[in-house]
Amino acid sequence: MVVLADLGFSEGMIYEVIVCTYNKDGSSNAAPMGVVMRGSEYIVLTIYNSSSTLRNMQVCRSATLNFTDNLDFFFQAAFKDAVLPMDWFEKSCIVNAPQLKLADATIALSLEDCTVFDVQKTRVTGKIQHIAALNVYPKGYCRAKAAVLEAIIHATRVKALIGNEKEQNYLVKLLVLIQNCYEIVNRCAPNSCYAELMSDLQKKIDMWSHFKHESLR
């Protein structure tokens, strides 16, 4: 059987995956989240209390963690401006959750514990039921990939905080960090799918800023 170490997991490091769960209406949900291993059998997630993933995991008591380096999944699942394509998903044979058909590896997880951290976040511990992994070729490392992922994470915070007057200094910091990612992408991978994702991200941020200014009028 595949074990966490085979997927490159080490204690104390955060790995970015796509968490898939079932919504209340039975449709499939996906969201990027950071996960940490706890021993060889458990995974810990820290999830915003407002997220559908947390609610879904509490109801269905399970989820799948899907490994992919296709950033389109991260982009679409983070913002969900359109309904997620249902052909992304198939039913897990192991737990009551969907999984990504195109994942390089999938961990089936059952909910073990939920501990509320504070008003914002809950720590969720899941027990690993099964790990499946493909044998895939190694991929060349291009810095643009990490820069885009970083920018998407910052942008999820921008989206959440853009209307919050108390967080304007933090927002400015986030926008500078995104600009830095933009420069890395344009240096390391101009005219690539990564440059395209950065441009889509910039359009989203411009749209959120526009709505904010409209609502202040």
Ligand X SMILES: Cc1cc2nc3c(=O)[nH]c(=O)nc-3n(C[C@H](O)[C@H](O)[C@H](O)COP(=O)(O)O)c2cc1C
Binding site for ligand X (CB under 6 A): 16, 29, 31-34, 46-48, 51-53, 74, 78, 149, 152-153, 156
Least Cβ distance, residue 160 to ligand X (angstroms): 7
Least Cβ distance, residue 28 to ligand X (angstroms): 11
Least Cβ distance, residue 137 to ligand X (angstroms): 23
Q: Measured from the CB atom, is 32 or 98 closer to ligand X?
A: 32
Q: Measured from the CB atom, is 63 or 128 closer to ligand X?
A: 63
What is the rounded CA–CA span in Å between residue 75 and residue 30? 11
Residue 111 backbone dihedrals phi, psi, to 5 degrees: -70, 130
Host H or E run for residue 171: helix 168-188
Q: Do residues 130 and 55 make contact, with C-beta atoms less than 8 angstroms apart?
A: no
Listed in sequence order, the residues at least 6 apart from 118 whose beta carbon sits closer than 8 Å to its beta carbon are none
Q: Record the tokens describing residue 63, joined without a space.
A: 């989820």
Q: Measured from the CB atom, is 32 or 126 closer to ligand X?
A: 32
Least Cβ distance, residue 217 to ligand X (angstroms): 28
What is the rounded CA–CA span in Å between residue 197 and residue 109? 30
Nearest to 132 by CA among 198, 65, 178: 65
Residue 135 backbone dihedrals phi, psi, to 5 degrees: -90, 110
Q: Record the tokens describing residue 149, joined without a space.
A: 């992922």
Q: Measured from the CB atom, is 71 or 191 closer to ligand X?
A: 71
Say whether 188 sits in a helix, a strand or coil. Answer: helix
Q: Measured from the CB atom, is 33 or 178 closer to ligand X?
A: 33
Least Cβ distance, residue 88 to ligand X (angstroms): 13
